[in-house]
């Protein structure tokens, strides 16, 4: 089981304020905490997790903790070392979900399939040993996913950039066809999408905030959104998305929002 709404920790600082933010997020109701080694804040994310468990009288199993292996640590041995560091930083014995943060791609790596499979074999070993409860990938498109589909364990999750104005239909269809859970990072599109006239007008009709409308749109696409917020009010508001439903017509209307240049992926990943 995985919570249907997560809290992202990207760009939270490497200082005690991040632990405070994690505590506030858990108090607000978040149970999925999404982190990564590349965010360079896992020690304070871990501190926040342990404080939040104590302050809210929660069991460890009440939280779902995610981390990711960065692209400079691809490969079996490197991944194993990176995982050990993450677990030491978080001070955890078991991780709920571990992801390959970015795929190796043919434009940059001739043996990209072998690199991805070798990295994936490390995640399979971690899963089979019980140190990780679930394994998956991040930013993988169907071309990269296919290389992993004949392995002993197929990906359980694909975390992709997902928000109005960004077409990910091909990846959505592939994942849904193979029972791969989809998580959406940057669901609010760096915040620009919050000012879209269509989003503002539809949110007003439903009596909700634009961010709440977009997060609900994600959920109705069967995508787990991972919003990030440090403002206490925004933290709370983003959890209040379960008492309304978007009509099919409004889903299509939001789907039709045009892609804009600054909504794109990491340039390294484009057109792969």
Question: Active-site residue numbers?
Answer: 39
Residues 6 or more apart in contact with residue 107 via CB below 8 angstroms:
271, 272
CA separation for the pair 12, 114 (Å, rounded): 33
- The residue with tokens 């404080």 is 51
Residues 6 or more apart in contact with residue 261 via CB below 8 angstroms:
none
For 106, which DSSP code?
A: T
Residues 6 or more apart in contact with residue 60 via CB below 8 angstroms:
53, 92
CA separation for the pair 18, 47 (Å, rounded): 9
Nearest to 35 by CA among 148, 185, 175, 181: 185
């Amino acid at each position: 089981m995985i919570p249907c709404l997560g809290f992202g920790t990207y760009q939270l600082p490497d200082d005690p304020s991040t632990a405070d933010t994690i505590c506030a997020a858990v108090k607000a109701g978040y149970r999925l905490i999404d982190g990564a080694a590349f965010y360079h804040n896992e020690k304070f994310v871990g501190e926040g997790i342990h404080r939040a468990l104590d302050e809210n009288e929660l069991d460890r199993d009440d939280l779902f903790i995610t981390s990711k292996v960065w692209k400079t640590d691809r490969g079996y041995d490197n991944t194993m070392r990176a995982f050990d560091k993450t677990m030491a930083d978080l001070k955890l014995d078991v991780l709920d979900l571990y992801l390959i943060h970015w795929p190796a791609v043919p434009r940059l790596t001739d043996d990209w399939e072998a690199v991805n499979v070798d990295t994936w074999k490390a995640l399979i070993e971690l899963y089979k040993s019980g140190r990780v409860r679930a394994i998956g990938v991040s930013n993988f498109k169907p071309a990269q996913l296919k290389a992993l589909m004949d392995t002993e364990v197929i990906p359980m999750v694909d975390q992709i950039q997902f928000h109005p104005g960004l077409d990910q239909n091909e990846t959505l269809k592939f994942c849904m066809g193979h029972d791969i859970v989809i998580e959406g990072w940057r669901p609010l599109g760096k915040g620009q999408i919050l000012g879209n006239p269509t989003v503002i007008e539809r949110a007003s009709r439903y009596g909700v905030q634009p961010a709440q409308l977009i997060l609900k749109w994600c959920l109705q696409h069967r995508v787990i959104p991972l919003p990030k917020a440090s403002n206490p009010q925004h933290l709370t508001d983003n959890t209040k998305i379960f008492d309304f439903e978007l009509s099919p017509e409004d889903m299509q209307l939001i789907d039709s929002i045009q892609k804009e240049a600054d909504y794109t992926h990491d340039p390294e990943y484009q057109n792969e």
